[in-house]
Amino acid sequence: MDLILTGYRLERDASSSIDHRLGFTETSRTALVVYVVAPDEAERDSLDRLIRCEGWQPKTFASAEEFLVHPLVAVPSCLLLDVALPGLSGLELQKRAAVERPYIPTIFLSAKGDIPTAVEAMKAGAVEFLTKPFRDKELLTAIREALERSRFVLAKQAQKQTLQRSYASLSRRERQVMALVSSGLLNKQVGGELGISEITVKAHRGQVMQKMHANSFADLIKMATKLGVYRMKELPRPRRNDSATALTGVLLDSYCAGIVEAP
């Protein structure tokens, strides 16, 4: 009996309905890449044919080292990884890939039902751990799940990059206002912190909403949370005087600059 340890799997009945739900059109399917790292050439060729039959792009490698030097494109993809590899092991490659290529989920293929290895792989985030021989249907189900994970991660990365670009378009004062209103201060309180009028705060707040493409203040709070702007509430709040106002501005500038420069 095959040993199949299931991690992150959703049951599906038909590949066509799955691809439609994931947004994979017949054209976009060709952009989906399945990397195969296995030392046995016959196994690589067999997996290559199976992957092509599904309309995906296979890329095969005989070792972890070959895979790591291959230039990759940020498209939905996954990695079929043999546990026993020459040189860098499958588990070691999984750890490297999780750091360097977090959008590429791993599916392990093993010649034996090694429970400790399977548990370690699943704890490290593997989608599946399949013991040979396995059925094509089992592998294809795992690949579809891995591609869905990859697509989700890439979408989240793109969303974050868009958010950071919007934030970078804010002026110095707008970033200060966003940081303070996101930490729960009222317009009047923000004006007191920055030494400006409440009307001016409202004007800056309106610009922030527009540039951040926020449909509501609740949206802006969510954006601030994703960017880490909400942490401004942890900054010290000195007593109000000219030097204190200047200090608040310096603290805000320093913190907001860090957000823009973050990867």
Looking at residue 261, its pLDDT comes to: 46
Token representation of residue 110: 């093993």
Looking at residue 177, its pLDDT comes to: 93
CATH class of 169-261: mainly alpha
Looking at residue 230, its pLDDT comes to: 61
Looking at residue 52, its pLDDT comes to: 95
CA count, 13 A, side-chain hemisphere, 150: 29
CB 122 within 8 A of CB 5: yes
Rounded average pLDDT per 10-residue block, the chain, 263 residues: 33 38 42 94 96 95 94 91 91 90 92 83 88 93 96 92 94 93 92 93 95 94 86 45 50 53 43
Q: How big is the CA angle at 145 (ends 67 and 29), to the nearest 5 degrees?
A: 75
Q: For the segment 246-263, what is each residue's pLDDT rounded down to a tens digit?
A: 445 545 555 555 554 443
How many angstroms separate the CA atoms of 47 and 58, rounded?
8
The amino acid that residue 198 corresponds to is E
Task: Reply yes or no: is the peptide bond before residue 133 cis, omega within 30 of 0.
Answer: yes
CB 193 within 8 A of CB 141: no
Q: For the segment 18-75, what is each residue's pLDDT rounded down to a tens digit?
A: 344 444 443 344 489 999 999 999 999 999 999 999 999 999 999 999 999 998 888 9
How many angstroms separate the CA atoms of 63 and 87, rounded?
7
Looking at residue 253, its pLDDT comes to: 54
Looking at residue 241, its pLDDT comes to: 53
Nearest by Cα to 145 from 127, 122, 157: 127
Residue 36: what are its φ and ψ, rounded to 5°? -125, 125
Looking at residue 140, its pLDDT comes to: 96
**Residue ranges of domains in the chain:** 4-160, 169-261
Q: For the domain with range 4-160, which CATH number is right: 3.40.50.10470, 3.30.70.990, 3.40.50.2300, 3.90.1150.10?
A: 3.40.50.2300
